[in-house]
Structure 1
Amino acid sequence: MFKGFKEFLLRGNVVDLAVAVVIGAAFNSVVERVVDSLINPIIGMVFRADSLDGALQISLPGGGTIALGAVIGAIINFVIVAAVVYFVFVMPMNRLRKPAPESGEPPVPTEQELLTEIRDLLQAQTGGGGAQPEPPHKH
């Protein structure tokens, strides 16, 4: 029973997921600070409210309120998190995964280029005065 549980925990995906959750939680506090210290004062200046939670509130006749500012704040948080995750994690990982082009080596010709070169060499050796057949048309 414990052996199966140990194998489950030591799988690569589970460990990666655990690391991602921990980093995500820590990163969330950074985003909250940026929003509280940078975004909310600007919003407060524009909408005359302390934060987005208090901005753009619509009072309902029954006594409730619709807080559009809170929704906008959540969207801003999401966009900031998505941008930082993309630019800090995804882009560098994509660059690391790409094979570096080897300088000094010519590019490998395609099969079609090689066949064309072989045909031309054979025609030159045999005196190739004849007309070349047309390549087959693709339908």
Structure 2
Amino acid sequence: MSDSASGKKTGVLGGFKAFLMRGNVVDLAVAVVIGAAFTNIVNSVVKGVINPIVGAFGTSDLDRYAACLKGPCTRKATGEVTQGVYIQWGAVLSASLTFLITAAVVYFLMLLPMKRWQERQAARSRTTTEPAAPAETELELLAQIRDTLLEQRRGPGTDSVPAQR
């Protein structure tokens, strides 16, 4: 192996190590692990709470809701399709409810409180680090308006001091 090839390999490995050690990659990995664990909680809520509520109007197993697209449609007692083509809209409904619940929990229990905390931290740091700018007085504002009007009257490209004759 030549020196240039080994240098390139070290450079690629070094670049890969730098990529992995970036903060956002590590944060993303943590988020994926937490998200996977959180999925189990949401699935349990859907199966243990939402499905029974929906089951009060029909069956508690949303996966059993289906429509026969091409018949005749028959199933075994286990739910396996033996004949026909089913559209299993109950599974889509269950997945949609799981998504909505997950999104609501993430927004209301994670993002909203974090946003409020960051706003409080930013407000606190502004008040402690930045001194309040002194408010301009009416006299200073009137002087600025006067100077602007005089400059507009003279036109661009002229000196600020009028020429004497």
| TM superposition score normalised by structure 1 | 0.70
2:132 pairs with 1:114: no
* Higher normalized strand content (fraction of residues): 2
Distance 2:141 2:85 in 1: 81
Counterpart among 7, 15, 23 of residue 18 in structure 2: 7
Letter of the aligned partner of 1:34 in structure 2?
A: V
Say which structure, 1 or 2, has more relative contact order (CA 8 Å, 6+ apart).
2
* Preserved CA contact (<8 Å) 2:53 2:60: no
Alignment of 1:54-133 (within 5 A): 54-55=64-65, 57-62=66-71, 63-98=84-119, 99-100=122-123, 102=127, 114=136, 116-119=138-141
Alignment-derived partner of residue 35 in structure 1: 46
SS at match of 2:123: coil
Unmatched segments (≥5 aa) in structure 1: 123-132, 134-139
Quote the residue 2:61 is aligned against. Answer: 51
Q: 2:36 pairs with 11, 25, 40, which one?
A: 25
Structure 2 unaligned segments of length 5 or more: list them: 1-9, 72-83, 144-148, 150-165
Residues 118/69 of structure 1: CA separation in 2 closer, same or farther (3 Å cut): same
* Partner deviation per Cα, 1:82-111 (whole Å, 9 max, x = no partner): 011111221122112212365xxxx757xx
- What's the % identity of the aligned pairs? 47
1:50-99 residue CA offsets vs partner (Å, 9 max, x unmatched): 311112x1112241111111111111111101011111221122112212
Report the count of equivalent residues: 117
Q: Secondary structure at the match of 1:114?
A: coil
SS at match of 1:64: strand
Two-structure CA RMSD over aligned residues (Å): 2.8
Which contiguous aligned blocks of 4+ residues in structure 1 show a shift greater than 4 angstroms?
none
